[in-house]
């Protein structure tokens, strides 16, 4: 499902403030250097002036000079404030790589 929240496309194109937070978290907590973050799938449920987005995304980059690809499940919470959708919370969980997958 593709949705618009605050004029932002939630399917991998355009600026996504919640994705920006996730990338910043990668840089700060894991000392990784992400070069690409792509939303693989997402589902949006709207509840009046609140919305919850659940999905997965893939991050590519380098760590200590070596390339990596991580996949993560995420939940973003959006609130409509003064007519504008704002991402107010985001969380993500790393999806373990399948054995033998690179």
Residue 71 sits in a domain whose CATH number is: 3.10.450.50
Tell me: the pLDDT tens digits for 45-68? 999 999 999 999 888 888 778 888
- Is the residue at 11 inside a domain? yes
Q: What is the total count of domains within the chain?
A: 1
Q: Is residue 102 part of a domain?
A: no
Taking the chain, what is the end-to-end CA distance rounded to the nearest angstrom? 28
The pLDDT value recorded for residue 77 is 94
Instruction: Over range 31-45, report the average pLDDT.
Output: 82
Residue 63 lies in a domain: yes
Backbone angles phi, psi at 58, to 5 degrees: -120, 135
Q: Is residue 90 part of a domain?
A: yes
Residue 100 lies in a domain: no
The answer to the question of residue 31 being in a domain is yes
Range of the domain at 59: 4-95
* Residue in the structure block whose two tokens are 């390339």: 67
């Amino acid at each position: 499902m593709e949705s618009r929240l605050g004029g932002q496309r939630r399917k991998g194109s355009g600026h996504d403030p919640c994705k920006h937070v996730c990338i910043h978290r990668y840089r700060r907590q894991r000392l990784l250097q992400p070069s690409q973050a792509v939303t693989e799938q997402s589902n949006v449920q709207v509840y009046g002036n609140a919305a919850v987005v659940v999905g997965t995304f893939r991050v590519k980059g380098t760590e200590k000079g070596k390339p990596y690809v991580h996949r993560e499940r995420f939940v973003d919470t959006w609130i409509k404030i003064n007519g504008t959708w704002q991402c107010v919370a985001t969380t993500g969980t790393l999806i373990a790589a399948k054995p033998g997958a690179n």
